[in-house]
Structure 1
């Protein structure tokens, strides 16, 4: 055997980090928040979904009769004509006013009753039969009764819409009130927080997801009921105008008003409700 000693292996030299054109060796790259990336991806998917919808509409219009299904350009031209004549903005403003008042009334009454039913068992037992009845009465029956009782006026229309929405708000908020963590309320009592502070800082934040769920479902339901109310007993509004178009078999006008109203509702969802939900739920992050 050779008497030579084996030389110890040389220590590994760490590789120098490569510097790209967007970063320097002294300044790390700025990290993009994951939430911003997720929202950007969601926005792209929504835009892609709308593009696919328009393409499918154009395909269907090319295969069907133009009087049965007009193409998107014809509907867009009709929207421009109705806007220029101020007919569309006028009817839309009237309908949105009714939607806003009925939505606010339904959310306020439904949230208060839902919190009471979720908090106290006796209140829940007393009002449960009323709630089941309200959930199962058809909207058409409520609309007709309100018109008969209160007359063909805006207040009857708003009351009919609110009555149809209040039970669904109650159900959602009641479940949220039942899911409130009692340990957080005990901590608030241990720190001797006042009732107002406990409600605003401890109780209400836990209800935000349920309130937002009720608001989203309520917005999609209320505007549909408002159109039925206007169709049956009002002389202005999007529902009334849709009835006029139906009598003349004007599908282009029906689609024009429907798309504009749906666009307003989508804008309210994307620019108001969704950012509000992120703002109020930021404490959970």
Structure 2
């Protein structure tokens, strides 16, 4: 099944490349640049340090914001599950934060913060935090009551309860939150970099737009796609390793 899926995916990709290349033969380069031009720009991004630093900066910003959102959100979600009063207080606030469009957060951050890095960090944190928190909260509440009571019979310490019950129970849903937030925050980070930043993929995309350089714009877009795919693979590998104890369904 996996091999068949990969085969079909490669086939669809090859067809799209052929269609794009044919379109480049009958259109202007700023509309449909040839594949070889896009590939040359992609190679230059990965081999020229002065250009690659823009990609690395964006990746670093995304991961830094996600790590902080993950740590704060997981802790807050578990605390909300353990304390009903805290949940009743914080949940409406998080729901409000989650409902604010990402573009609105960009405008708010520009007004609030003068420092660009702090601005981008805040935007990524505030857009990823609610999802991590709600996933941790729901996972905690979905812990089997029978399993919880069985473990409490042995009178475990609080640290043992976290290690043996809570952490294994919430981990699968936290991986889901990582996968969802990765794509969302990547898009948000690019929008944030368009405002005031002089380094990063967003800045490079803005420069390509001002020069009508479609080839470079697509190359930078592919850099983001490659980053997301690679990190998704890392998450999938880590998940399969940490959760190898779970029974696997046969397909």
Q: CA deviation at 1:120?
A: 2.7
Match of 2:191 in 1: 228
For 2:19, which of 52, 56, 59 is the aligned residue? 59
**Is the 2:136–2:174 contact (alpha carbons within 8 Å) kept by the matching residues of 1?**
yes
Match of 1:276 in 2: 238
- Mapped pair 1:166 → 2:126: no
Match of 1:206 in 2: 169
Which 10-residue stretch deviates more, 198-207 or 50-59?
50-59
TM-score normalised by L of structure 2: 0.90
Match of 2:70 in 1: 107
Matched residues, number: 244
Q: CA deviation at 1:202?
A: 1.3
SS of 1:134's equivalent in the other structure is: helix
Bigger Rg, which one: 1
Q: CA deviation at 1:47?
A: 5.3
Query: What RMSD, in angstroms, separates the aligned Cα atoms of the two structures?
Result: 1.8
For 1:248, which of 211, 235, 241 is the aligned residue? 211
2:56 & 2:113 partners in 1: Cα distance? 23
Which 10-residue stretch deviates more, 187-196 or 144-153?
144-153
SS of 1:216's equivalent in the other structure is: helix
TM-score normalised by L of structure 1: 0.80
1:131 & 1:114 partners in 2: Cα distance? 11
**Is the 2:106–2:192 contact (alpha carbons within 8 Å) kept by the matching residues of 1?**
yes
- Please list every run of 5 or more consecutive structure 1 residues that lacks an aligned counterpart in the other structure: 1-40
1:108 & 1:54 partners in 2: Cα distance? 40
1:43 & 1:241 partners in 2: Cα distance? 36
- Please list every run of 5 or more consecutive structure 2 residues that lacks an aligned counterpart in the other structure: none
For 2:37, which of 74, 79, 99 is the aligned residue? 74
Cα deviation digits, residues 113-159 of structure 1 (max 9, x gap): 22222333222211122022111111122122222222132122101
Which 10-residue stretch deviates more, 66-75 or 163-172?
66-75
1:269 & 1:149 partners in 2: Cα distance? 33
Match of 1:125 in 2: 88
Match of 1:14 in 2: none
1:116 & 1:51 partners in 2: Cα distance? 48
